[in-house]
C-alpha cells in the first residue's frame, strides 16, 4: 500500500474511529450505505490520482483522501442518487484540495466543500427525502436490507426539521442511539462521542477545538433563550441534533484547515459553535454546521497569524530587555 499512498498514520487512526459509525449506519439504514461509501472512495481516489500523476507529476496520493471520502459519505442521506454523490466528492477533492496544491495546502475541508456544493445545487434529495431507521432491537436490521423505505415529512423529519417546522422535540435517548432519520453518519451520537475520546487519546484531534465548539454553541443558545427567542433549540438537544457533534469531532478538527495555535483553536471552535446557532435559528437552512466550519476555515490563518505575531513580538521584547 505504501507504494501508492503517502504514509499518514494519523489518517489511519481517523479511519479506525469511523469504522463503528459506518457499521452502525449500515445496521440502521441498509447496505446502500456501504455501496455509496465505496463509490465515493473510487471517485476520490481517481480524482486525486489523476491530479497528482498528470498535473503535479507526483507518484503517490495521500491517505487523507480516504478519510475525505468516508467523511463526505457520512454527511449524505442514504437515498441520494449515485451520480449526485459522485459529483460532490469529485468537486470536493478537486476544488477543495487539489487546486490549492494537494495535501497540506488546502484552506477548506474538502469533504465539506463537496457536501456544500451538492447541498446548494441539489437541495431536495439532501433536505426533504429521508429514509426510516432500524430500531435497536430489530436485529439484523439493515444488515438484511439494501435500504429502508422512505417515510413522510412529519414522521420522517430529522430532529432539526421537526423542531424548526413543527416545534417538535426529540427524546435524548433517541438522539443518542440513532433512532431518528438523518444523514448516514450523524445519527448514533454515542459512537461519535466514543470516537472523540479515542481521537483525543491518540492525540489526533484537538480537544480544544471540540470544547470551543461546545462553548460557543451552548453560550449563544443560553443567551438567545434568555432573550426570549423561541426558535432556539435547547443546548443539549441542539448539540445532539443534526451534524453538530459529527462536525465538531471529525470536520472542525481537520489539522490542515483548522487553527494551529492553542488560543487559536479555542477561538476557531467558538466561532463554529456561535455561527451554527445563528444559522440554525435565523437563516433559511435548518442545519448550519457545514457553513459554520467553512466560515471558520476562512479565518483560521488570520487567527493563527495574530497569535503567532503577538508571541514573536513578546519574545523579541523580552530578549531586548534582557
Q: Between these two residues, 151 and 45, which has the higher pLDDT value?
A: 45
Model confidence band, residue 171 (pLDDT cutoffs 50, 70, 90): confident
Query: What is the percent of the chain with per-residue pLDDT over 70, rounded to a whole number?
Result: 89
CB 89 within 8 A of CB 271: no
> For residue 56, what are the domain limits?
5-308
At 41 the pLDDT is 97
Residue 315 domain-assigned? no
On the question of pLDDT at 180 being above 80, the answer is yes
The pair phi, psi for residue 4, each rounded to 5°, is -110, -25
SS3 61: strand
144 CB contacts (<8 Å, ≥6 apart)? none
221-251 pLDDT, tens per residue?
999 999 988 888 888 988 998 889 999 999 9
At 320 the pLDDT is 47
Residue 79 domain-assigned? yes
Residue 320 domain-assigned? no
Residue 318 domain-assigned? no
Model confidence band, residue 321 (pLDDT cutoffs 50, 70, 90): very low
On the question of pLDDT at 316 being above 90, the answer is no
Of the ranges 53-57, 136-140, 179-183, 289-293, which is most confident? Answer: 289-293
CATH value at residue 279: 1.10.3430
Nearest-angstrom CA–CA distance, 178 and 134: 9
On the question of pLDDT at 21 being above 60, the answer is yes
At 29 the pLDDT is 93
On the question of pLDDT at 153 being above 60, the answer is no
Query: What is the percent of the chain with per-residue pLDDT over 90, rounded to a whole number?
Result: 57
At 253 the pLDDT is 95
On the question of pLDDT at 87 being above 80, the answer is yes
Q: Between these two residues, 285 and 135, which has the higher pLDDT value?
A: 135
Q: Closest Cα to residue 94, out of 1, 86, 24?
A: 86
> Locate cell 466560515: which residue?
295
pTM score, whole prediction: 0.91
At 31 the pLDDT is 95
Model confidence band, residue 266 (pLDDT cutoffs 50, 70, 90): very high
Residue 62 domain-assigned? yes
On the question of pLDDT at 200 being above 90, the answer is yes
CB 109 within 8 A of CB 259: no
Residue 281 domain-assigned? yes
How many structural domains does the chain have?
1
At 203 the pLDDT is 94
On the question of pLDDT at 167 being above 50, the answer is yes
Burial class (CB in 10 A: 0-12, 13-18, 19+), 68: buried
At 135 the pLDDT is 84
User: Average per-residue pLDDT in the chain?
Assistant: 88
Residue 123 domain-assigned? yes
Cell numbers representing residue 220 in the block: 449563544
**Segment 261-276 mean pLDDT:** 94
CB 201 within 8 A of CB 210: no
36-53 pLDDT, tens per residue?
999 999 999 999 999 998
88-144 pLDDT, tens per residue?
999 999 999 999 998 888 999 999 999 999 999 998 888 887 888 888 778 888 899
Nearest-angstrom CA–CA distance, 101 and 23: 33
At 178 the pLDDT is 82
Residue 68 domain-assigned? yes
On the question of pLDDT at 173 being above 60, the answer is yes
On the question of pLDDT at 168 being above 70, the answer is no
Amino acid at each position: 500500500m505504501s507504494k501508492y499512498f503517502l504514509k499518514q498514520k494519523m489518517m489511519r487512526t481517523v479511519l479506525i474511529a469511523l469504522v463503528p459509525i459506518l457499521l452502525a449506519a449500515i445496521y440502521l439504514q441498509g447496505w446502500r450505505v456501504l455501496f455509496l461509501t465505496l463509490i465515493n472512495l473510487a471517485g476520490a481516489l481517481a480524482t486525486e490520482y489523476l491530479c497528482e500523476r498528470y498535473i503535479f507529476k507526483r507518484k503517490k496520493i495521500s491517505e487523507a483522501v480516504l478519510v475525505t471520502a468516508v467523511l463526505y459519505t457520512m454527511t449524505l442521506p442514504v437515498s441520494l442518487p449515485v451520480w449526485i454523490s459522485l459529483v460532490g466528492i469529485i468537486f470536493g477533492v478537486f476544488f477543495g484540495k487539489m487546486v490549492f496544491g494537494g495535501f497540506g495546502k488546502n484552506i477548506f475541508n474538502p469533504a465539506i466543500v463537496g457536501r456544500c456544493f451538492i447541498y446548494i445545487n441539489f437541495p431536495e434529495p439532501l433536505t426533504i427525502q429521508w429514509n426510516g431507521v432500524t430500531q435497536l432491537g430489530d436485529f439484523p436490521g439493515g444488515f438484511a436490507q439494501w435500504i429502508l423505505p422512505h417515510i413522510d415529512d412529519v414522521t420522517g423529519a430529522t430532529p432539526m426539521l421537526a423542531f424548526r417546522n413543527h416545534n417538535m422535540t426529540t427524546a435524548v435517548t433517541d438522539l443518542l442511539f440513532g433512532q431518528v432519520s438523518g444523514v448516514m453518519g450523524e445519527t448514533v451520537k454515542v459512537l461519535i462521542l466514543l470516537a472523540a475520546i479515542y481521537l483525543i487519546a491518540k492525540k489526533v484531534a484537538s480537544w480544544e477545538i471540540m470544547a470551543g465548539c461546545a462553548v460557543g454553541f451552548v453560550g449563544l443558545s443560553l443567551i438567545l433563550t434568555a432573550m426570549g427567542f423561541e426558535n432556539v433549540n435547547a443546548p443539549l438537544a441542539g448539540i445532539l441534533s443534526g451534524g453538530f457533534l459529527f462536525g465538531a469531532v471529525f470536520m472542525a478538527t481537520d489539522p490542515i484547515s483548522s487553527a494551529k495555535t492553542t488560543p487559536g483553536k479555542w477561538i476557531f471552535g467558538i466561532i463554529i459553535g456561535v455561527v451554527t446557532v445563528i444559522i440554525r435559528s435565523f437563516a433559511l437552512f435548518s442545519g448550519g454546521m457545514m457553513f459554520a466550519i467553512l466560515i471558520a476555515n476562512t479565518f483560521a490563518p488570520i487567527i493563527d497569524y495574530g497569535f503567532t505575531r503577538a508571541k514573536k513580538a513578546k519574545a523579541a521584547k523580552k530578549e531586548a530587555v534582557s
